[in-house]
Amino acid sequence: MINLYTAWISMLLGSVAGAVTGMFFYNKDFLGGYSSWRRRMIRLGHIAFFGIGLINLAFALSLQALGIAQTPAAASYLLILAAVTMPLTCYLSAIKPYFRNFFFIPALSTILAIILFVWRMYER
């Protein structure tokens, strides 16, 4: 159930982030121009809210559809970790490129969560 809340909160934050940055995107030089590192990271952070949010939503609905009563806790927490750390890493990387070195955290969290879920799905 927590992944369902995480999904919708993530999509709300993605909408807010898109609305805020969208107010400035008309300026072609905003954050260094369309192809600048900063602007790309801001766009990726905005989309990450939706992407990881949708993965959390799919996870929550799949548990229900497959009748898996006991939520695989590790997979659940890893997806929540990814929902927090992917946009955070994107926005921090826009401020200071050093933070790009931490993209392995949300990426690995997502990969491991999906592996655990698929394993649990075929285990039943």
pTM for this prediction: 0.90
pLDDT grade for 124, boundaries at 50, 70 and 90: low
Domain range list for the chain = 2-123
Q: From 20, 21, 87, select the one nearest 52 (Cα to Cα).
A: 87
- Per-residue pLDDT of 78-107, as tens digits, reads 999 999 999 999 999 999 999 999 999 999
Q: State the first-to-last Cα distance of the chain, in angstroms, to the nearest integer.
A: 20
In whole angstroms, how far apart are CA 61 and each of 7, 9, 20, 65, 87? 11, 16, 30, 6, 23
Q: From 121, 114, 116, 117, select the one nearest 52 (Cα to Cα).
A: 114
